[in-house]
Amino acid sequence: MISIDDKVPALMVFFLISASQLGVGYLGFQSIINKYAGNDAWISIIVAGLGVSVIIWLMYQILKNDKTGDIVAIHQFTYGKWLGNFLTLLFTMYLLLMATVVLRTYVEIIQVWIFPHLKVWAFLSLLIPLIYYTISDQFRTVVGVCFLGIVYPFFLNLTLLYPLKYADITNIQPIMDHTITEIMQSSGLAALDFMGISALLVFYPFIRESGKSQKYAHYGNLYTTVTYVIVCLIAYVYYNQSELENVIWTTLGLWKIIEMPFMERFEYFGIATLFFTILPNVVLFMWAATRLVHRTFGFQHKKVAVVLLGILFIACVMSMGREGVNILNDTAGRIGLVFLFIYIPVLFIINFIRRKVRKNVS
- DSSP string for 139-173: HHHHHHHHHHHHHGGGHHHHHTTGGGGG--GGGG-
Rg (CA), the chain: 21
Q: What is the pLDDT along the chain (362 residues), one digit of tens a residue?
A: 677 778 899 999 999 999 999 888 888 888 888 888 888 889 999 999 999 999 999 999 999 877 777 899 999 999 999 999 999 999 999 999 999 999 999 998 898 888 888 898 999 999 999 999 999 878 999 999 999 999 988 888 888 888 888 888 888 888 888 888 888 988 888 888 888 899 999 999 999 888 889 999 999 999 999 999 999 999 999 888 888 888 888 888 888 888 777 677 888 888 888 899 999 999 999 999 999 999 998 899 999 999 999 999 999 988 777 777 778 888 888 898 999 999 999 999 999 999 888 877 76
Q: How many domains does the chain have?
A: 1
Angle at 309 between CA 106 and CA 141, to 5 degrees: 80
pTM recorded for the entire structure:
0.93
**Is 362 contained in some domain?**
no
For residue 15, the one-letter residue type is: F
**Is 361 contained in some domain?**
no
Q: Give CA separation, 24 vs 106, 217, 275, 282, in Å.
A: 6, 21, 9, 11
263 by DSSP, 3-state: which? strand
Predicted confidence at residue 362, as pLDDT, reads: 60
**Is 214 contained in some domain?**
yes
**Is 360 contained in some domain?**
no
**Is 26 contained in some domain?**
yes
3 by DSSP, 3-state: which? coil
What gap in Å lies between CA 79 and CA 351, rounded to an integer? Answer: 9
What CATH number is given to the structural domain containing 335? 1.20.1740.10
- The parent domain of residue 88 ranges over 4-355
